[in-house]
Every structure is written in structure tokens, then in C-alpha cells.
Copies of this chain bind each other. A is one copy, B any other.
Amino acid sequence: MTRSTSPVQGRPDPAARTVTSASSTVVARRTSRDIRSDSRLDVLHAVLSAGETTRNALAQSTGLSLATVVTVVNELLAEGIIEEKKEMAAGRIGRPTALIGMNTDRGFVVGIDVAETYVRAVMFDTALNEVLSVESARDEHLLDPDSVVEGIGRTLDHLLDAAGVSRSEVLGVGIALPGLIQGPEGVSVVVPNWTWQKVELERLRERVGLPLVIENPLKSIAIAELWLGGGRRFSSLATVNLGTGVGAGIVLEGRILRGATNTAGEWGHTLLVLDGRRCRCGRRGCVESYIGAPGIQETLREIDPAHPLVDLDMQNDFILALAAVADGPEPDPAVTETIGRTAYYLGSALADLVAVINPEGVTLTGWTTWALGEHLMPATRRHLLEQSPGASARDVELEISTVRGNSVATGVATVVLERFLVDAGLLTSNIPVAL
């Protein structure tokens, strides 16, 4: 028993900022944006997500009153953002059951995924339907700043040429860049082996010559999931991208978790095995070095060094070949064992993510998921449930994302569309990183 009459708490600098812990348990669906803008955003999200819908369905899906939906829809119709699909709706215009959708005559938005092995530019209409996609392989010159800018610019030019779309028809371009960070001195790009700085982002803006937003790839996949995927059902979720690299886009209370320097979600470089495999980030034992595509190939090599798939040169070919063997009629014990171990690694690493952020849902995305996801899912789910502490995974839903295609490009194109609506005065909002 101790007795003390003096304060035991620390007394920090009274001039420091105050915080508000009081409402820490409330899931705040609405932020400080004004309500009218919120209604518009909710309706737009719902229209985009549904493709074609009705005023009645919008009222249901947004939770807004039918009267509010009618008002917002009329405003958005008048501004030409959405349109009534007259040809499909028999009867009087404006009735609650008339079909409405995004007005796709407004132009196009472009999302560009600048990845390790390629630059992919995808054109979408304003309903976020994919129109055309162009991919350039990364060449050895792509690492210096000028070549990166020129590689992106040329890929964009190719896309516009191939689509027969002029720059004046493009509402904006979004570029997802690895290593994008937000610091006190502004935005910069820091990727090992790359030498980008803020000034090169200015050069990128000049080369693109269109309204531009840039975004981190993990945040982009989370945005795609938020607008078009599991984010419509879960207020908190982790979208896990499986490809060459692996990482997580995290949504909490319906918002993207960015972190102090915009680098939250680097789950791919958390430990699976202290002092384990060497990761390309320089650390040893990262999750990515086990379940990134090269890591999966390494697992097969450990199991059967003489297996023919061990020698496949291209990561994507390797993953597709692995899936083909797994789908085939001939059982291949080394492939089965590789998939089993990968599911163990993945489920264990997902349990770590669930332990820390305790989300409602986890969705898997990326080209490894498209190829191997169905093979990995049952065992991954079992390992996740077995290894998550306490009740953290009790209700978690693990699923393959419904947002197919390149979700990095889709996500960053979504930001472009939103930015366009803000710039046009149709939404009040804040865009992550805009140039």
C-alpha cells in the first residue's frame, strides 16, 4: 500500500496542442464537410457503385430521405454530372424508378500505376468504366528522374493516341507513385534506388499537361476498395495487395489511414521471421520476402530446387504457371506444398494485421490474388482465425476483392474524378495530394 499526496502524472508543456479523447468510441461517419456536400458525395458514390440505379434505390442505399435524394439528383442532373437513361426508362422522366447513371459524355479520367516492372495507364469514363489500358515495360533507364517522367508521359501519350482521345477530353490524370511521402516540407518521393525530389514532381506536372493528382499505391487500392468494393459494407477494412510487392491499404471509420508521413500500411515490410529471408527493402524476414511473387518462387525452390517452375524468369509467368499446375489434373506435391506454405505465411501475417487494427473486413487484391486466391483462401482463412489473438478475428470477413483489374489505377482515377467535381464546385472536399 502506498500513499502519496503529490501528483504522479507528468505535466507536459501546457502550450502543446490539446486532444479530444471524449468521442473516441463513436464511429464518426460524417466529418466536418457540410451536410449538403455529404449528401452529394453519398449519392455520387452510390451512383458510381451501382452503375445504373433509381432514386428509390439511392434513398435505400444512402440512408437519405427520398426527398433529399430527389433534390440532389435534380442538382446533379442540371449540372450534367449524372443523366437519366431515358431509353431504358419507360414512362415519365423524374419518377423515383427512372434509371439514372453517371453522364459519361463529360469526358475521361486516367489512372496511372507506376510499378516496379511496368507503367500502366488506364482510361475510364466518368462512370469509372474502363475504356482502354496501355502498359509499358519498365526499362533500365526508368530509374533516373527524367526517364521516369518521360516514361509516364509517353505511356499517357500512347493511351490517348490509341483511344483517339484528345487532351481536351481528359478531365484529369492520377498517378500512383511508390514512396510518395508527405513531410513538413511538402510532398516528396523517396524510393530506394530512385532519386526523386519535389522539383521532379513539378516536371511531371508539366509533362502531363493536365490536372494532376498523385497518390501512394497502397492508398490508391484502399480508395478503390472504399468507393467500389468492400468499403461499401465495412467501416474498417484492410485491402491487401499481393503482387511483386505486398502491402495493405487501411480504412478506418470509412477513411483512409495515411499516417504521419503518408506511409501507413507497409505491412509487407513487417516481420514474419526475425533474421529470416533477405528482403529487397534491406530488412530481413519481411512478409513480402515470403508472399511476394519472388518469395513464393523461393518457397518452391526450398521445397524442390529442381522443379521446372523454379527457373521461370518472369514473376507473372511463374504465378500463372503455379496456378495452372494447381488447377491441372496431375497432382504436383511440390506445388501443393508451396501453396500450403504460402497460405500459412499469408494467414499468419494477416493475423498480425488483424491483431493491430482489428478491422471488420480484409480483402485480397492484386495479380497474385487473381491467379492464386481461390487456392489460397481456405487455408489462409483457417490460419488467420487460429492465430489472431483473442476475439480480434472472430467476426472478420476475409474475401477476395470484387474490384478487379488494376485497382491501383482505378483508385487513383477515382481521386481524379472526385477532384474534378471539387474543382467544378460540385463538391466541397479535400484531395490527398494534388499538384
The interface of chain A, by Cβ under 8 A from chain B, is 1-26, 28-33, 38, 41-42, 45-46, 49-51, 53, 57, 60-63, 127-135, 162, 179, 181, 183-184, 190-192, 223-224, 226-233, 235-236, 248, 250-252, 254-274, 276, 281, 283, 345, 348-349, 351-353, 355-360, 387, 389-392, 394-396, 401-405, 410, 414, 418, 422, 427, 429-433
Contact = CB atoms under 8 A, between A and B. Distances in A.
Nearest to A19: B254
B259 A11 contact: no
25 contacts: A2-B133, A4-B133, A7-B128, A8-B129, A9-B130, A10-B228, A11-B50, A12-B230, A17-B61, A20-B29, A20-B38, A20-B41, A21-B223, A21-B231, A23-B31, A26-B32, A28-B31, A190-B390, A190-B391, A191-B390, A258-B358, A266-B389, A270-B351, A283-B387, A357-B357
B267 A181 contact: no
A207 to B, nearest CB: 21
- Copies in the assembly, this chain: 2
Given A10-B229, A12-B49, A394-B183, A274 B345 contact: yes
Among A53, A132, A390: residue with most chain B CB under 10 A? A390
A232 B20 contact: no
A355 B283 CA distance: 12
Given A5-B129, A7-B129, A25-B432, 19 more contacts: A7-B127, A12-B233, A14-B46, A17-B232, A19-B231, A20-B29, A20-B30, A22-B33, A28-B28, A179-B390, A183-B391, A184-B395, A261-B358, A262-B358, A264-B358, A265-B356, A267-B355, A270-B270, A352-B352
